[in-house]
């Protein structure tokens, strides 16, 4: 058996009911995020409910005190169904229609529609700033690598597009900072550093269409 005590994080009573906080990780990635090429028309509320059950199981296991490793499979289509139905209210204000895709080991792409008007009103521009020409709700996409281990995770963005046009990663960082501030419980933007995974999660293993949560 593997000793996981060093990764234990404080749990408050009732935190299991707030399992949506696990998806603040994805919510931040949505704040990172061309219209999705993935077919999401088949997504159903029942698919999202299946994911919700697995998320509840992750939270319960973190309270169990067990030292045995536990693997939980999270399927891409169920994650996207959860984000469309059960998880929509957990998204930062101004982000809609999120789609997450796991493309290979460590490789992830997140697409969404974001409202840039709030961000534009909160910043000053110089004449070369690409955002000065953009307004309203636009499709955005981020592709990169999600690396995790020892209870930590870090997203390394590689490509960022707004309306199909590649823009500098520094703009992505601004968007993350802005939308993280719109959450009811603002998160420290984590593009620059690793974050502590919640619920005693040790790592998240990615493969085509699948994420495996290791506790």
Prediction pTM value = 0.77
- The answer to whether residue 58 is domain-embedded is yes
Tell whether 11 is covered by a domain: no
**The pLDDT of residue 175:** 84
Q: What is the pLDDT of residue 180?
A: 74
The whole-number pLDDT of residue 49 equals 97
What is the span of the domain harbouring residue 89? Answer: 24-214
pLDDT of residue 141: 96
The answer as to whether 8 is a domain residue is no
> What pLDDT score was predicted for residue 138?
94
Is 109 contained in some domain?
yes
* Cβ-based neighbours of 137, under 8 Å, separated by 6 or more: 96, 113, 114, 115, 116
Task: Specify the pairing of strand 195-196 against strand 137-149.
Answer: unpaired
Is 3 among the domain residues? no
**What's the total number of domains in the chain?**
1
- End-to-end CA, the chain: 12
**Per-residue pLDDT, 179:** 80
SS3 78: helix
The answer to whether residue 126 sits within a structural domain is yes
How far apart (Å, rounded) are the C-alpha atoms in residues 17 and 44?
22
Kindly state whether residue 136 falls inside one of the protein's structural domains: yes
CB-based contact 204:197 (threshold 8 Å): yes
Residue pLDDT, tens place only, 29-78: 444 333 334 456 699 999 999 999 999 999 999 999 999 999 999 999 99
Paired sense of beta strands 195-196 and 152-162, if any: antiparallel
Does a structural domain hold residue 87? yes
What pLDDT, on the 0 to 100 scale, is given for residue 55? 95
pLDDT along the chain (215 residues), means of 10: 46 42 48 44 93 96 96 97 92 90 92 86 65 85 94 92 90 81 54 84 96 97
Q: Are 101 and 109 in contact (CB under 8 A)?
A: yes
DSSP secondary structure of 108-153: EEEEEEEE-HHHHHTS---TT-GGGG--SEEEEEEEEEEEEETTEE
> Tokens representing 84?
């469309």
């Amino acid at each position: 058996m593997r000793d996981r005590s060093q990764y234990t994080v404080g749990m408050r009573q009732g935190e299991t009911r707030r399992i949506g906080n696990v998806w603040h990780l994805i919510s931040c990635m949505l704040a990172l995020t061309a219209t999705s090429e993935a077919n999401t028309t088949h997504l159903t509320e029942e698919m999202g409910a299946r994911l919700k059950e697995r998320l509840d199981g992750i939270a319960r296991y973190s309270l169990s005190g067990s030292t045995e490793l536990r693997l939980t499979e999270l399927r891409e289509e169920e994650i996207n169904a959860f984000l469309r139905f059960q998880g929509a209210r957990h998204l930062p204000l101004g982000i809609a229609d999120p789609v997450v895709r796991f493309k290979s080991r460590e490789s992830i792409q997140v697409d969404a529609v974001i409202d840039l008007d709030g961000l534009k009103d909160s910043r000053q521009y110089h004449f070369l700033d690409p955002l000065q020409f953009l307004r309203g709700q636009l499709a955005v996409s981020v592709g990169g690598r999600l690396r995790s281990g020892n209870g930590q995770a870090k997203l390394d963005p590689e490509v960022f597009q707004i309306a199909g046009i590649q823009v500098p990663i520094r703009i992505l960082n601004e968007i993350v900072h802005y939308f993280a501030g719109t959450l009811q419980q603002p998160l420290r933007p984590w593009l620059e550093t690793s974050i502590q995974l919640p619920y005693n999660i040790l790592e998240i293993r990615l493969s085509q269409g699948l994420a495996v949560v290791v506790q």
